[in-house]
Amino acid sequence: MHLCGLPREQKLLLPEAVEDYIATDSPVRFLDAFVGSLDLRALGFAKAVAASTGRPPYDPGDLLRLYIYGYLHRLRSSRLLEKECTRNLEVIWLLRTLKPDFKTIADFRRDHKKALLQTCREFTLLCKKLQLFGNELVAIDGSKFKAVNSKDRNYNEKKLSELIAGIEARIKTYLTELDDCDQLAEPLPNALTRQQLMEKIAELKERQGDYEELRSQLDEEDKQISTTDPDAKLMHTRDGAQVCYNVQSAVDAKHKLIVAHEVVNEATDVQQLSTMARAAKEVLGVCQLNVVADKGYYNNATVQHCTENGITPYMEKTDTSANTKRGLYGKSKFTFDAHKDVYLCPGEKALTYRFSTFEKKRELRYYRATGCKTCALKKQCTRNKANRTITREENEALMEAMAQRVKNNGQIMKSRKAIVEHPFGTIKRAMNAGYFLCKRLAGVGAEMSLTVLAYNLKRVLNIVSFDDLIKAVAVKG
Ligand code: SF4
């Protein structure tokens, strides 16, 4: 025999108030208190103060509560949130039985992009107040999030040229058929009529015009265009090329909370280190900060920028040397002697400074050995007939100092993955938020702010007791 529920017609003595259904330490009560503690007007929410005349609007605090609750529970679309307002007791409690329609819900997210970003920041500041940040080490990483733009609707020069050539070939075929049609007294069985051929040609010409128009609009830099979401770009991901945004995050090592985030549409991370590190340092309010990132961030200029701003970066270098690839001595086999301004080669000979060139206003110094022709190690060192040359960038001393730090602090390098991959793993898998629902950089930025807020909130609810959280928002400021 199975367990049986009660007959549906039976009268029940259910609690009379919605309040009675929500546990006294339910996370939803903290969410409510957190939003209640915010100065919504100062954060930029419209209608934070209702006008005395006209139809009363929804309180932005209620719609904000609904969105934070939704992002916390894998409910991100406005239609899903609309449904929850009628069937989910926690939402009914949170919104005090209000039932905004999906358009009102969607408009709220669309109209408050900056305010949502500020709200996410407010929660980060609350984490800071609760001393949840270690303030010593931050790991920076980027991950690709799918945009609302299929691969078919992303075009580059090659794809457009192929499409246009394909259309031209098809028009040519139809024109030949049209000629045949004109010459034959009786149309061939199953052949298209003259009228049908004309229509097909007109349709193809229209499409050809559209592709040519797209070709004229190709992005100056990376020569691509996305037609559904023009800010999204084709990027390489683990699942192959996808139209994406690149989400950058700076994660504090103590509790793996996200300190700062940003959505960019650059396919690589190489320019992102100093921007993210400075954003994290500003939020933490510290004078000095260590940041660790993977090889994809390695870039002389950003390391210099970090160092000038009280940030100590830790990154390994990818050996891109053509010589290493050929099995010859790469630059890492040469030691720089700053005192004598020479490089020492594996044959213990000095490569002395010869001349400089300037590329993008940066000095590149050239050092050259002597007597390579007669060196016993020449076969392992260089294929050139001339003496071996090594170049040195203006700020290479900073990179050498960083290489030494990386060598001496294996623990920091090992911790990187564990720190930074936790948030992205949780966001993409547990929260199912590895793709965007909104378009354009500002829209996806607002969406990411809600996602980051929900992730941090999830973490904090596991770290801090309910009572302490309520106390923290009650004495906010
Ligand atoms: S080939 Fe030249 S640079 Fe290379 S090890 Fe010999 S002397 Fe040094």
Residue pLDDT, tens place only, 206-262 = 999 999 999 999 977 778 999 999 999 999 998 899 999 999 999 999 999 999 999
Q: What is the mean pLDDT of residues 171-200?
A: 85
Q: Among 352, 370, 381, which is best to mutate for testing ligand 1, by the most ligand atoms less than 8 A from CB?
A: 381
**384 CA from centroid of ligand 1 (Å):** 11
Question: Structural domain boundaries of the chain?
Answer: 18-111, 137-148+233-317+404-443, 152-226, 322-397
Secondary structure string (H, E, C) spanning 125-165: HHHHHCCCCCCCEEEEEEEEEECCCCHHHEEEHHHHHHHHH
H helices then E strands: how many in the chain? Answer: 17, 13
**Which of 206, 31, 32, 40 is CA-nearest to residue 108?**
40
- Cα(427)–Cα(76) distance, integer angstroms: 13
What's the chain's average pLDDT?
93
- What percent of the chain has pLDDT above 70? 98
Residue closest via CA to ligand 1's atom 5 equals: 347
**Which of 63, 70, 142 is CA-nearest to residue 432?**
70
In the DSSP assignment, the letter for residue 316 is: P
Q: Burial of 121 by CB count in 10 Å (0-12 exposed, 13-18 middle, 19+ buried)?
A: middle
Q: Which atom of ligand 1 is nearest to the CA of 348?
A: 8
Query: Tell me, what's the pLDDT at 7?
Result: 87
Distance of CA 162 to the CA centre of its chain: 31
Q: What is the mean pLDDT of residues 97-116?
A: 96
Q: Among 372, 384, 390, which is best to mutate for testing ligand 1, by the most ligand atoms less than 8 A from CB?
A: 372
Ligand 1 pocket check for 369: Cβ under 6 Å: yes
> Do residues 195 and 115 touch, judged by C-beta distance below 8 A?
no
Ligand 1 pocket check for 450: Cβ under 6 Å: no
Query: pLDDT per residue over 393-452, tens digit each?
Result: 988 999 999 999 999 999 999 999 999 989 999 999 999 999 999 999 999 999 999 999
Ligand 1 pocket check for 57: Cβ under 6 Å: no
**Which of 59, 58, 61, 60 is CA-nearest to residue 34?**
61
- Cα(294)–Cα(249) distance, integer angstroms: 13
Q: How confident is the model at residue 322 (pLDDT cuts 50, 70, 90)?
A: confident
Ligand 1 pocket check for 349: Cβ under 6 Å: yes
Whole-model pTM above 0.75? yes
Under CATH, which number does the domain 137-148+233-317+404-443 receive? Answer: 3.30.420.10
Ligand 1 pocket check for 342: Cβ under 6 Å: no
